[in-house]
Chains A and B, each alone.
Chain A
Amino acid sequence: MTTESVGSEFSRALKKRLESSKRSFYFLTRSPLATIGLAIVIFYVILAIIGPRLAGGNPSVMTAYPIYHGQPIIFNPIPPFEYAKFPLGTTIGGYSIYEGVLKGARVDLELASIIVFSGALIGTVLGSIAGYKGGALGEAIMRGTDIFLSLPYIVLAVAFLTVFGRYESVMIESLILIWWPTYTRIVRGQVLSVREQKYVEASVAAGSSSLRTVIKHIIPNSIYPIFVQISLDFGNVILTLASLFYLGFTFAGPGFAEWGNLLSRATSAGTGGAALESYPWAVTIPGLVILIFVLALNLFGDGLRDVLDPRMRR
């Protein structure tokens, strides 16, 4: 055989894969809601990539403009569409909401990716062990997940931030600690069913080691529900982050470009509910940004679930 035929082999294999993902994409686009969700998610991802560049300056810190055109605007936020410099208005402290939204996209998506993907990775590994090996070790892992699932997540994060200090790493670690058990459960359930399939036994009969069997057969066949969970959890993590920042459990200064922090600026002067009456845009715009993203992720996640379920496809 010549190298050319090997090359064609690769291209053919690649073509097959492409066709298969094309088909998946086609099925996804059959659902209008999922398509809208996907479009919005893609828009946010693009925003996260180019947003900070559009806004300029430090990519994770908002610039404060205490005085604009000679007027102090720290406690008198400018409404949207009034000045070209602040297209979405400003909030307490003289921060531009437009800038906060753009920079916050990257900050939030970055934090959420770290937390969700770490959680998914830990969950997949532990879930596969618990499902494939079972026994006392599996039982121990599952009881561990039960313990972590029973903890209210905001409370755990607040406790961690209080005890270990307000650092970015503490917040990320505490949230990972909260997020892995869901994945462990899902993966274990999948592994338990895949493990009994004949192709797993055939692979064992061919002399495949446990580790190889798990990596080559069990995980590829049980990982798909994880993708759905990841897409849904992205939204949940961003909501939790926003809640923590809103409650004041921050690890950075008031100018930190995070959507929850941006939202909480509006009430940071101690005005509380009055903020909604005097400058509603400062609360609703960051709120809407979060809402639309979480909603889009949920729509996309539901669509993804349908696509990845082979029974729905045939």
Chain B
Amino acid sequence: MSEILLKGIGIRKYFPIRGGVSGRTLGYVHAVDDVNITIYKGETIGVVGESGCGKTTLGRVVLDLIDPTTGALFYKPNESEMSQLEQLYSELTSGGARELKKEEKKILNTTKDNIYKSRRRKKDFRSRVQIVFQDPVSSLDPRMLIKDVIFEPIKINGIPVEGENDNGKQKRVKLRGDAATKYILDIVTEMGLNEDHLFRFPHEFSGGQRQRIAIARAIAVKPEFIVLDEPTSALDVSVQAQILSLLKTLQQKYNVTYMFITHNLAVIRAVSTRVIVMYLGKIVEEALTDELFEYPIHPYTQALISAIPIPDPNFRRSRIVLSGDVPSPANPPSGCRFHTRCRFAKEICSTEEPKLKEIRTGHVVACHFAEDILKTESEHTGIKKISEIAI
């Protein structure tokens, strides 16, 4: 395996539901519930799931834009951190999915403090990561010229140059005046925009152009890691394709790692190397992209993949139609969260929560009947066909 860029363990994010006159907490929305995530350097990790499954929240936690309720995040963990992490991880997994004990929370919180709460490291972290949002309209300040929008992160962080500082941090230089203008011009030219665009306001652009500007802003500081939060969802299909190919080109050129959050399986298939499927704040399946699309094991993933439209009128297949709605994340079902809509659900599903198990190499599934499903549907005739035709 290649180098680990970012590792998060036991990440939970509960949003309090406040109500009443005094604003007391009535309950919690379990947006992300006990998620372990590993992101390797240079990959594009796709996070997929329906609305409200916590994928955006996960992206924001990973970038430390919001504090997780519990959990530890490690950016480029070193040896000692890694061993500490491994130990905690094994303790947590052996105990299954349970509420963290007080001491454990404390350990997790102190490790987190070491990573992020130190101001200097936080600033260093900020200069290495970036985010691109779904909505290109609200992600650009309407009262700033494009030149200033793109220049903002450069102004704050500088751009990395060869070599390291004494304290092992990246060496960065701040650009000013002509050098800055030239640098920005180079970046926007690469994005397919021209010099004239720099002196306009965001409302003078189309959606696709605005998304290019948002990407330019993210890539301008040459980050190591970018969270792409549904970057193509607000665009029409032809523009989507342009943006995706632009992202691919940039990834090759700048050697940047992506976390690609979307609900669009076709897009995930096209861009990502590894996929995480989320349902109600939990990871239900994780595998390399081809593996996942060829051998989807979790019933939820199967249903998702069977819903991909296939541009072939003669092709008949059995659709797996999910009945009912997503249960409320404020009051998630007991046991396996998917059991209310699962076609394989048995008694055990509503009482015991399935752990993530490695079923095939690098293919992790959280389902009690994962092996059975794999066996009975080993041919995967219908699904395999889908994976060949889609895209």
Q: Which residues of A contact B (CB under 8 A)?
A: 1, 5-6, 9, 12-13, 16, 20, 197-199, 201-208, 212, 216-217, 220-221
B203 to chain A, nearest CB (A): 8
In the complex with contacts A205-B129, A220-B143, A198-B152 CB distance below 8 A: no
Which residue, B141, B147, B178, B201, has most C-beta atoms of chain A within 10 A? B141
In the complex with contacts A6-B177, A206-B156, A221-B143, A198-B126 CB distance below 8 A: no
- Asked whether B135 is an interface residue with its Cβ less than 8 Å from the other chain, the reply is yes
For the complex of A and B, the 10 pairs showing the least CB-CB separation, nearest first, are A207-B126, A206-B153, A198-B139, A1-B178, A198-B138, A199-B141, A198-B133, A205-B131, A207-B156, A12-B199
Instruction: State A5–B65 Cα separation when bound (angstroms).
Output: 39
In the complex with contacts A1-B181, A207-B153, A16-B129 CB distance below 8 A: no
Binding site of A, secondary structure by majority: helix, strand, loop or mixed?
Answer: helix
* Contact partners of A199 in chain B: CB under 8 A: 138-141
Check if B133 sits within 8 Å of A201, measured CB to CB.
Answer: yes
* Contact partners of B153 in chain A: CB under 8 A: 206-207
- Asked whether B382 is an interface residue with its Cβ less than 8 Å from the other chain, the reply is no
Which residue, A201, A203, A207, A212, has most C-beta atoms of chain B within 10 A? A207
Picked from B63, B141, B182, the residue with its CB within 8 Å of the CB of A1 is: B182
Closest residue on chain A to residue B64 by CB atoms: A205
Instruction: Give per-residue flags for B167-208: 1 if the beta carbon is below 8 A from chain A beta carbons, else 0.
Output: 000000000011001100000000000000001110000000
- Asked whether B375 is an interface residue with its Cβ less than 8 Å from the other chain, the reply is no
Instruction: State A202–B135 Cα separation when bound (angstroms).
Output: 12
* Contact partners of B145 in chain A: CB under 8 A: 13, 16
A268 to chain B, nearest CB (A): 51
Check if A202 sits within 8 Å of B217, measured CB to CB.
Answer: yes
Check if A208 sits within 8 Å of B130, measured CB to CB.
Answer: no
Instruction: State A210–B152 Cα separation when bound (angstroms).
Output: 14
* Contact partners of B140 in chain A: CB under 8 A: 199
Closest residue on chain A to residue B154 by CB atoms: A206
Check if A206 sits within 8 Å of B157, measured CB to CB.
Answer: yes
Instruction: State A208–B133 Cα separation when bound (angstroms).
Output: 17
A286 to chain B, nearest CB (A): 42
In the complex with contacts A13-B199, A204-B65, A197-B130 CB distance below 8 A: no
Instruction: State A220–B152 Cα separation when bound (angstroms).
Output: 15
Tell me the residues in window 124-167 of chain B with beta carbons closer than 8 Å to chain A beta carbons: 126-127, 129-131, 133, 135, 138-143, 145, 147, 152-153, 156-157
